[in-house]
Structure 1
């Protein structure tokens, strides 16, 4: 006799439920293993000692690396992970539970040594110090303390409105003159530090590396050739750093400044460098320097003060410093940006050098007209 619908239901309903439960279990297993939403923090997970997997899961959860620890702990048990070695483990939200456990199990931990790149071209010491702190994985109060302590080892220049008699914005005055100047004491490079390095450790290392860097045969010979000190070279390099991105002309521009300092008959000893006026008034990214900026009484304004400014205006790259040291001799006393620059990428912007002020005025007028047209089209 044929079976009725109810009989078929009684036969297949349990099977359907069983398959459904198996599917749910498999989906849950897949989510636990490959689900990518549990890891929420991008940072270095630090274990100072061998820890059980249970304690590691607690630590991951408490430090905000994962939202849910139970699923990861269950997976760790299936993978037979019982303990994790001490170390520095790099974890980020692109990882799923299985990825994290593989990193912990395979010992793919980071060294206690971290590479720190001191950034070049920065106008403010604070920006350099903050960058170093970030690379040492410092944040919050620890970062602020590190930055404050590192800057405290150096002399720097800070805004001092009381000196801004006729400046458009502000003026700059040095503090703590007995300390080494920040930008004169650091060579931008990549250095290795322990992750636990203090501001004092970083300060000492940077000074040591700077002394070693200057004690090369090439640099000593060129200092003697030019008759300048390392401080003079770094100051000139800091101006050149902000004058041009075109590496091939950095030495030529540097020699113009050196000529103007050495030959007051031609230039009256004034550098008349636009980057120094921008720095003096605190407007670092002006597209055009006007009399409003060049009349500032600040000691950094080389339109009103003879010779070099009192310190570097930024942290120049070591390549720019070496370009200044290797500056070729010539008899040019003026330069102006090439009017054709507006049709070129920024790293190809060049300058036209002139031997006399009359020659320079012709180029400067052509550039001013080209700049007017550029600003009209790009307000």
Structure 2
């Protein structure tokens, strides 16, 4: 009899141990099959959260039990969450409940107009392009940050930044103002004063330089040409400003008929700089303007070798010779 009792007790203990082990594995074991990026939109309901999550985790019954216990159905937070191997159902549920988001890396570059910026941002965060554009074009918001609705675009410095996926357009713009202020170090401001330009003017000139050449080593020389023209009161006559004025960025050859296009951005018919940048210049172009090369060139023209570099000239005769050589090569290649 005693042996039977001991056997029953041993069996119960083993069963209890097995049950405890199963529960431990269910609640504390790895529940993530493979790393998964979970996005929970601001308008999502709990059923959508569960539908998105369940195919990517194990121990689903344990998750549902624990989620119910902590009231996850009415307390989950929208956001972007990275589920990594080793996470258990308790950690997953708590992460979503507490809103412990994984930041997303937002890259801003190669943008010409605010609408394009809004579209690029919308592809990387939850906010849509219309909501972003509304803030980018907002006069009151721009004035709050020290700009206007036209020049606010100059505040964006190309780079990669970490944001929460649920960042609002207002929060994003505010963060970019802090990044702009951080970019303008005392050293950069000292160089800016050497050029005689304001911050906006530096960004505007840098945008022209950036559109003229992508050769970083040539940018200071191109910037020097435009600084010379500004100081002498000579129109900049920058072809990229004509493309921007016409909003025709595919235009490969600027003809005389294009030079008279009426726009404050057309530097063939207006002296000085355009009202705002014609693109988002790279940091290399901004620093090239701040470190512009001192020389006496006032003209430059693309080389007929099409190697991305330019021929520079001090006189109109020399420039016209360079221009004719380039034009002849365009004709030979049948570029219209």
1:302 CA displacement = 0.8
Choose which of 112, 117, 137 in structure 2 pairs with 1:151.
137
Whole-angstrom distance in 2 between the partners of 1:77 and 1:202: 36
1:120 paired to 2:109:
yes
Which SS does the other structure have where 1:368 is aligned? helix
Aligned in 2, Cα 1:184/1:120: closer, same or farther, shift over 3 Å? Answer: same
Aligned in 2, Cα 1:147/1:304: closer, same or farther, shift over 3 Å? Answer: closer
Report the equivalent of 1:228. Answer: 197
Report the equivalent of 2:123. Answer: 134
Aligned in 2, Cα 1:118/1:129: closer, same or farther, shift over 3 Å? Answer: farther
5 Å-filtered alignment, 1:1-379, equals 44-45=39-40, 59-61=49-51, 65=52, 76=59, 83=66, 88-90=80-82, 105=89, 112=101, 114-139=103-128, 143-153=129-139, 178-179=148-149, 181-214=151-184, 216-264=185-233, 269-341=234-306, 344=307, 349-375=308-334
Whole-angstrom distance in 2 between the partners of 1:321 and 1:155: 25
Q: Please tell me whether the aligned partners of residues 261 and 270 of structure 1 are also in contact (alpha carbons under 8 angstroms).
A: yes
Which SS does the other structure have where 2:208 is aligned? helix
Whole-angstrom distance in 2 between the partners of 1:331 and 1:149: 43
Aligned in 2, Cα 1:104/1:250: closer, same or farther, shift over 3 Å? Answer: farther
Q: Please tell me whether the aligned partners of residues 220 and 293 of structure 2 are also in contact (alpha carbons under 8 angstroms).
A: yes
1:279-300, Cα deviation, whole Å (9 max, x unpaired): 1112112110011210112111
Segments of structure 1 that go 5 or more residues without pairing to the other structure are 1-34, 48-54, 92-98, 157-176
Whole-angstrom distance in 2 between the partners of 1:361 and 1:326: 28
1:328-376, Cα deviation, whole Å (9 max, x unpaired): 21110000001111xx4xxxx1011111111111111111111112236
1:262 CA displacement = 0.8
Which SS does the other structure have where 1:253 is aligned? helix
Whole-angstrom distance in 2 between the partners of 1:185 and 1:246: 23
1:271 CA displacement = 0.6
Whole-angstrom distance in 2 between the partners of 1:122 and 1:204: 19
Whole-angstrom distance in 2 between the partners of 1:364 and 1:182: 36
Aligned in 2, Cα 1:112/1:250: closer, same or farther, shift over 3 Å? Answer: same
- Of 196-205 and 284-293, deviating more is 196-205
Q: Please tell me whether the aligned partners of residues 126 and 166 of structure 2 are also in contact (alpha carbons under 8 angstroms).
A: no
Aligned in 2, Cα 1:366/1:195: closer, same or farther, shift over 3 Å? Answer: same
1:212 CA displacement = 2.6
Whole-angstrom distance in 2 between the partners of 1:155 and 1:281: 28
Aligned in 2, Cα 1:232/1:60: closer, same or farther, shift over 3 Å? Answer: same
Aligned in 2, Cα 1:249/1:106: closer, same or farther, shift over 3 Å? Answer: farther
Q: TM-score, normalised by structure 2?
A: 0.72
Q: Please tell me whether the aligned partners of residues 120 and 188 of structure 1 are also in contact (alpha carbons under 8 angstroms).
A: yes
Q: Please tell me whether the aligned partners of residues 119 and 189 of structure 1 are also in contact (alpha carbons under 8 angstroms).
A: yes
Aligned in 2, Cα 1:373/1:106: closer, same or farther, shift over 3 Å? Answer: farther
Segments of structure 2 that go 5 or more residues without pairing to the other structure are 1-32
RMSD of aligned alpha carbons: 3.7
Whole-angstrom distance in 1 between the partners of 2:235 and 2:213: 19
Q: How many residues align?
A: 284
Whole-angstrom distance in 1 between the partners of 2:62 and 2:246: 63
